[in-house]
Amino acid sequence: MSIQWKDYSSDGSYDELITASGNSRVAARGVVRYIKSLSDQDMRERRDAAELAMQVMGITFTVYSEGEEGGIDRTWPFDIIPRIISAREWKRIDAGLKQRTQALNLFIADIYGEKKIVRDHVFPHDVLAKSVNYREQCAGIRPALDVWAHICGSDLVRDSDGTMYVLEDNLRVPSGVSYMLENRLVMKRVFPELFENYSILPVDGYPTRLFDMLASLSPRPADYPTVVVLSPGIYNSAYFEHSYLAQQMGVELVIGSDLVVTEDDCVYLRTIGGLERVDVIYRRIDDLYLDPEAFLPDSVIGVPGLMRAWRKGNVAIANAPGAGVADDKVVYAFVPAMIRYYLDEEPILPNVPTYLCMYAAQRERVLANMDKLVVKPANESGGYGMMIGPAASKKVRQKFAELICKDPRNYIAQPALSLSTAPTLCDGHVEPRHLDLRPFILSGESRHVTRGGLTRVALKKGSLVVNSSQGGGSKDTWIVETGDK
Amino acid sequence: MLLSSVAERVYWMSRYIERAENTARIILVNHNLLLDLPRNMEFGWEALVTITGSLELFQQHYDEATERNVLRFLVADQSNPNCITCSLGMARENLRTTRAILPRATWETLNDLYAYARDNKTSGMSRRGRYAYMRRIIDYCQLLAGKLSSTMSHDQTYGFIRMGRNMERADMTGRVIDVRASNMLPSLSEDLKPFDDIQWKSVLDSLAGYQMYRRHVHVRIRGRAVLSFLLKDKLFPRTVHYCLAEVEYCLRGLPGNEPSLRILGRAQRLVQEVDVNDILSAGLNSFVDDLEKVHAQLHSQLTATYFAAPEEQAAVPIAATS
């Protein structure tokens, strides 16, 4: 390819493949050399092949748009240059994520149980009282294995000095893992020769791990468990993933109306031969829509009586209802404290420094530095409702200052990190684009972290927003064994 | 274990695929037939609309059954749920919602087929592009049937796919006989008028049955023999007899099959016991009407037994069986 790596500049951001002096990083050496050997035409052909593969495989996400007929399914932009991390670095990240989810699970169990962490003044009662994801319906319940957040998707970002930070933990219904798996398949179709000379850790064990974890939660351990994936339905943006995971695990994909809770407080599937008992539900529906008897009464996608069945221990639900209490950007700020409190360990992976607007002193600092900070609401996902200070107009900053003063508990602020970049094919040539990484952590009897995760990339030049709903794409993520362990 | 909702979706998926294939086939046959017939012979395109059972809908949207209008209506008119692109779109939606259960390769094929049908519809409606378009639709539908048959377990889910296909086929064969044959009946008792034989050939072609008819029915093409073949032949997979036997085979593997089997039995007796000569004298229409009626009852019974939610099952009266 006619790329001159010495002209490639990520403007002060850390680049995942290329060093500041224009050399390739050790783990990326083979890929960089190979891409250089390809002509522009070659690259275009590979990109087209990848696009075609994604179309044929039907890898899509769903966009809501009214009045558009049949066009709700989009293929997700995919970049063919992989993001590469050395196995040595990954080992540390793996350990850090396990540590983190262990502490988070202990926290959730504690919050719905004895609330020791509040009594010991490590976690303020106020935060809990105002958490929109705290579910009083879950207080006193002890789910199987005392695990609440069985599937966690934590977002990692790398700052300009190369430090990897945890940006947030998604504990409700994190999505994206199917794209991680599919991206690898596409890469194997498009760049088979690269896999021959590289030792890339495989990712395809995830569905098996997921199934084993779910099966281990069954209330009837003696029998082969009936596991289902509960989806809100075909119009949900992650429907592809729900279907994909069900298929890969060999379990039923269901919507609310396929399930029924009868007088014996057990959950059943409606089948052509009558009702069949369900043991484990991997739900991809938000808490509030899960059961109209317990939560929003007009939810039509839920299953009436589901909470009853769960409370009685007749069915396992993953993630457990209420697990989202720790999926809150204010609670996030306390995770390092949780790790110290529950595990008596130092956090392996750092948090991004976070100012809590609920505290007057921190709020003052935030309001004085609106042009340097990123302000986020505590409970939004998908990149909505946030303000990136350095890029925001004075008017927007003023609006957010008012929002903060009105509801300080709901806002946090963080320094604007310059997210790391990686070479990305844009309009026929390679340019740096910002990215993040979402590994997935399974917690059951033991913990398992995906090898790598989903790398999301902001395809717009200079943009820091990687969400698929807002112009983001994705890359395959390689954890690579290099000789020097 | 099979979810009621899944059973319903794969059944319909299968029907829609079969419908698209059948529609493409009758268009292709009509196209060829018109090239053979003399100009002054009245044999237009309207019959195709009638065969697909959508004449009323067609007349609401079009003044005249011209080649152009009929092609648009059968290939791409969004107001016609039975048009090729709509059928494939519906099949795709049904497969999309059951993707976790069916072999992955079938999704890729159907997705591909749908994209082709949608993107090339203009060419498919044109005289020049028509052959390639219809051929491709037919081939891909067959490819799908083959992939389903050879890469998925022949379990209950497959049983519903198979039932859907055969219910749709039996329906189609009935309607082709009804529309095509009744146009020609007056000439049956007389000597074959010129061109009647190519019309009868086209009836067989519409059901892909010409070659097998020639091999197995050692008679030159005559209305009586063709009718008898299409209704009663035990070996050709698109005859009414064969399709009903397939449905029976699938039903035998399902729980709660008694009411459906009873209705099916009536349909089978209707076909087995009828004398083709009687049909010809008493009128084809009344026989085909009877057949369609019992066919519709069978479909309602399948819906009530297998697709409806349990609490609704009790509320749905068992379809009249006498």
Q: Which string of DSSP letters, residue by residue, matches A144-196?
A: GGG-S-SEEEEEEEE-TTS-EEEEEEE-SS---HHHHHHHHHHHHHH-HHHHH
Is A226 within 8 Å of B1 when comparing Cβ atoms? Answer: yes
Token pair 């999309």 in the structure block, residue: B96
Tell whether A405 and A423 lie within a shared domain.
Answer: no
Distance CA A93, CA B73 (A): 59
For A271, the closest of B2, B107, B112 (CB atoms) is: B2
Low pLDDT (below 70) residues in chain B: 38-43, 182-196, 309-322
Same domain, residue pair A127 and A173: yes
- For residue A280, give the 3-state DSSP assignment: strand
Pick from A375, A430, A432: which is nearest to A408 by CA?
A375
Query: For position A69, what pLDDT does the model report?
Result: 45
Residue B322 domain-assigned? no
A contact residues 70-129, partner B, Cβ 8 Å cutoff: 70
Q: How far apart are CA B304 and CA B288, in angstroms?
A: 24
What residue numbers bound the domain in which B259 lies? Answer: 4-315
CB–CB of B111 and A55 under 8 A? Answer: yes
Instruction: Select from A379, A400, A415 the last residue of a domain.
Output: A415
Tokens of B129: 């592009």
How high is the pLDDT of residue B321?
Answer: 27
Tally of CA atoms within 13 A in the half-sphere of A133 that contains its CB: 25
Structure tokens belonging to residue A101: 């989810």
The answer, for A251 touching chain B at a CB cutoff of 8 Å, is yes
Query: CB of A365 within 8 A of CB of A383?
Result: no
Single pTM value for the model: 0.81
Closest CA to B165 of B19, B26, B7, B291: B19
In a shared domain, residues A126 and A225: yes
Q: H-helix or E-strand containing A443?
A: strand A440-443
- How far CA A57 is from CA of A246, B136, B167, in Å, comes to 16, 20, 30
Query: Does A163 lie in the same domain as A17?
Result: yes
Is B4 close to A270, i.e. CB distance below 8 A?
yes
Q: Do B1 and A276 touch (CB under 8 A)?
A: yes
Query: How crowded is residue B314: how many other Cβ atoms within 10 Å of its Cβ?
Result: 9
Contact (CB<8Å) A246/B254? no
Candidate from B99, B108, B115 with C-beta closest to A243: B99
pLDDT for A72 equals: 55
Distance CA B242, CA B166 (A): 9
Q: Are residues A157 and A186 in the same domain?
A: yes
Could you give the 3-state DSSP secondary structure of residue B247? Answer: helix
What's the total number of domains in chain B? 1
Cα A466 to chain centroid, rounded: 12
Two tokens, residue A82: 């992989």
**C-beta atoms surrounding A344 within 10 Å:** 7
Three-class DSSP category at B258: helix
| A interface test, pick of B5, B88, B118 with most A CB neighbours within 10 Å | B5
Please tell me whether residues A447 and A485 are part of one structural domain: yes
Which residues are A270's β-sheet partners?
A275
- Residue A383 lies in domain: 355-415
Q: Do residues A408 and A437 both lie within one domain?
A: no
pLDDT (0 to 100) of residue A74: 66
Closest by CA position to B279, among listed B320, B230, B209: B230
Q: Do B255 and A58 touch (CB under 8 A)?
A: no
Contacts of residue B59, defined as CB under 8 A and 6 or more positions apart, other chains included, come to none
Specify burial of residue A385 (Cβ count, 10 A radius: 0-12, 13-18, 19+).
middle
User: Is residue B173 a contact partner of residue B243, using CB atoms and an 8 Å limit?
Assistant: yes
Cβ contacts below 8 Å, chain A against chain B, sum to 78
Closest CA to A274 of B100, B321, B165, B7: B7
Contact A253 B100 (CB under 8 A): yes
Is the same domain home to A366 and A346?
Answer: no
Tell me the chain B residues in contact with residue A252 when contact means C-beta distances shorter than 8 Å. Answer: 1, 3, 6, 100-101
A154: nearest Cα among A375, A415, A317, A352:
A352
Backbone angles phi, psi at A170, to 5 degrees: -100, 110
Inter-chain residue contact B111 with A58, CB threshold 8 Å: yes
Question: How far B157 CA lies from chain A's nearest CA (Å)?
Answer: 10
Residue ranges with strand state E in A210-318: 227-231, 252-255, 259-261, 267-271, 274-277, 280-283, 316-318
At A381-396, the pLDDT tens digits run 666 788 988 888 999 9
Distance from CA of A291 to the nearest CA of B (A): 19
What residues in chain A have per-residue pLDDT under 70? 1-4, 6, 58-75, 381-383, 468-469, 484-485
> Looking at this protein, which amino acid is placed at residue B12?
W
Q: Which residues contact A313 (CB under 8 A, 6 or more apart)?
A: A144, A219
- Written as six digits, the tokens of A148 are 């609440």
User: And the tokens for A216?
Assistant: 């281990």
Residue B294 to residue B321: CA distance in whole angstroms: 9
- DSSP result, B5-71: HHHHHHHHHHHHHHHHHHHHHHHHHHHHHHHHS-TTS---SHHHHHHTT-HHHHHHH-SS--HHHHH
Number of domains in chain A: 2
Structural element, H or E, at residue A395:
helix A394-406
On whether any CB of chain B is under 8 Å from the CB of A60, the answer is no
**Which of A252, A260, A272 is the closest to B254 by Cβ?**
A272
Interface residue A227 vs chain B (CB under 8 A): no
Tell me if A270 and B306 make a contact (CB, 8 A cut-off).
no
Alpha-helix runs per DSSP H in chain B? 4-36, 46-51, 55-61, 67-75, 84-96, 104-119, 121-125, 127-151, 156-176, 182-184, 196-206, 210-216, 223-232, 240-252, 258-273, 276-282, 284-302, 310-315
Q: Considering CB atoms only, which of B5, B112, B310 is closest to A275?
A: B310
Encoded tokens for B298: 């069978």
Q: Which residues of A fall within a CB distance of 8 Å from B108?
A: 56-58
- We report the CATH number of the domain holding residue A382 as 3.30.1490.270
One domain for residues A68 and A174? yes
Give the H or E element holding residue A480.
strand A472-480
Q: Measured at the alpha carbon of residue A90, what is the angle toward residues A166 and A170, in degrees to the nearest 5?
A: 30
Q: Check A272 against B2: CB less than 8 A apart.
A: yes
Region at A300 (left for phi over 0; alpha for psi -120 to 50; beta for the rest): alpha
**Residues on chain A touching B5 (C-beta within 8 angstroms):** 254-255, 257-258, 270
User: Chain B: nearest CA to A275, how far in angstroms?
Assistant: 8
Residues A328 and A435 in one domain: yes
Query: What is the ipTM score, two decimals?
Result: 0.75
Place of tokens 């009414």: B240
A426 in the same domain as A407: no
C-alpha separations of B189 from A333, A377, B108, B185, B186 in Å = 91, 84, 51, 8, 7
CB A98 within 8 A of CB A343: no
By C-alpha distance, the chain A residue nearest B160 is A272
- Take residue B266 and report the two structure tokens written for it: 């009536």
CB contact under 8 A, A247 and B104: yes
Instruction: Give the residue numbers in B contacting A (CB under 8 Å), as ranges.
Output: 1-7, 78, 89, 93, 96-101, 104, 107-108, 111-112, 115, 156, 254-256, 305-306, 309-310
Rounded CA gap, A175 and A76, in Å? 14
Interface probe for A, chosen from B1, B3, B86, B121 (most Cβ of A below 10 Å), is: B3
Residue A31 and residue A49 in one domain: yes
Decide if A295 contacts A303 (C-beta within 8 A).
Answer: no
Instruction: Report if residue B321 sits inside a domain.
Output: no
